[in-house]
Homo-oligomer: A and B are copies of this chain.
């Protein structure tokens, strides 16, 4: 089995020796001269190349023996960035896995094709909204859910801010919203949020399944990356939608953390996200157009036979921007429009306008 290869951007002076320290930190975390010879031979990371680039961070490529991941996604993350996540000036920008390891990880169970099958939408852009704000009653949320489903949205998801608060408790809310969406549109899917309490996570996923939801919204930054695959295991045929809440620490600056396409595209797809939400350009967040399109590509491109994940841009999208965004992202995208559907207090009409705008837009063929 070939190595796990990680590429890091290294900012600041002396990138070559620092790349060597990264390779040691992420594998042995012990000076090489103090490690037993068999471990040095079998399990030490090696710097393959360091390319210095004027005015830009150096690119360091490190090969790790594939066995270091132990066939597990969690340990792969520890290996790729665990301790060096604590250092400024080191940023993970690319990952290549040996096919056998990629195949051993979960990957999306449904992926784009599965979501299209569930929503009865074999082609064209897919459209979603979030039920919010927290503080609405079950009755208010159910009315909203019904209206946006009736307006033709494919996916009705809960906001990550809904948990188990007194205004709309989970056990009361989920069956009511599932029913409201079903009445609104038999092709719409409803995805409640399941939050991070480890002991209750599986219970909540199973409750959602029993209550007629079509999958769940999971926050790997809170519940852990393994929670995505776990949700898929206990909700066969259900959509697992990943939300970036509490993951942004990795992408907020350019000098540390993880490149957004690697985090929201590759890593969450490997972890089992059928669809992956990220903040698109032009909204309230700071990712660039280029970074967003790279996320979409990483979610969809061939990856050792794993199903493609559905890129789900959100965060300040609007009906007016549908043509621009559809042209840029292409139709294999779930467009998440929030507040803009609430203007004029006619969510059903707004959903219909969004559906019409997406249908009218001619997506450019992507190269």
Contacts and interface: CB of A to CB of B under 8 A. Distances in A.
Contacts of A44: 133, 135
A259 to B, nearest CB: 12
14 contacts: A28-B134, A29-B130, A35-B136, A43-B165, A67-B166, A75-B164, A77-B222, A78-B222, A82-B245, A86-B248, A86-B285, A86-B286, A222-B226, A252-B253
A84 interface: yes
Interface string A26-69: 01111100111011101110000000000000000000000111
Given A135-B39, A161-B78, A198 B229 contact: yes
Interface string A251-268: 111011110000000000
Interface stretch (A111-119, A208-216, A337-345): A337-345
Nearest to A226: B198
Contacts of A192: none
Most buried by B among A42, A245, A284: A245
Contacts of A206: none
Contacts of A71: 164
Nearest to A72: B197
Contacts of A258: 249
Interface size class on chain A is 35 or more
Nearest to A244: B86
A85 B245 contact: yes
Given A74-B219, A74-B222, 9 more contacts: A29-B338, A79-B161, A83-B244, A83-B248, A86-B285, A87-B285, A198-B223, A249-B249, A253-B256
A295 interface: no
Contacts of A152: none
A133 B245 contact: no
A30 B342 contact: yes
Interface in A284-304: 284-287
Contact of A197 (B35, B73, B135, B255): B73
Interface of A: 21, 25, 27-31, 34-36, 38-40, 42-44, 67-75, 77-79, 81-88, 130, 132-137, 140, 159-161, 163-167, 195-199, 201, 219-227, 229-230, 233, 244-253, 255-258, 279, 284-287, 315, 338-339, 342-343
A34 to B, nearest CB: 4
A354 to B, nearest CB: 16
Contacts of A85: 221, 245-249, 252
A28 B77 CA distance: 32
Given A30-B342, A164-B71, A339-B34, A135 B43 contact: yes
